[in-house]
Amino acid sequence: MSYFYVALTVALTVYGQIVIKWQVLKAGAFPVDPGDKARFLAALLFNPWVISALAAALLASISWMAAMTRLELSHAYPFTSLAFVLVLLGSAWFFGEPITPLKVTGVVLVVLGLAIGSQG
């Protein structure tokens, strides 16, 4: 069950990142005027999708606490790097962001680090 909580932490984290990017893109460019900046951010903070992303971050933290009751931090934490892989794939799928050879190399290194770092 502990690995389920780790996976849930990763999934909720990725959800939050994708949703926030989506809603920020919909909101447009960040304003220059300080008053407009405050209104822009307030509108985002009261956006139901952004609220769901913030709730996902809270739930991810709770899920992580549940995982930490059974797993060593040094063993479990490398699994959170899977968020890098999933965000790369999600950003390509949802936003058409390019997956370049350098990004693929970086993700491969992250996965190798996960495989090595989670041993023992």
| Total number of domains constituting the chain | 1
pLDDT digits (tens, 9 = 90+) for 19-37: 999 999 999 999 999 999 9
pLDDT digits (tens, 9 = 90+) for 44-101: 999 999 999 999 999 999 999 999 999 999 888 888 989 999 999 999 999 999 999 9
Domain that holds residue 53: 2-117
What local confidence, expressed as pLDDT, does residue 120 receive?
Answer: 61
Encoding tokens for residue 102?
């350098």
Q: Is residue 5 over pLDDT 90?
A: yes
pLDDT digits (tens, 9 = 90+) for 63-79: 999 999 999 998 888 88
Cα separation, 84 vs 78, whole angstroms: 11
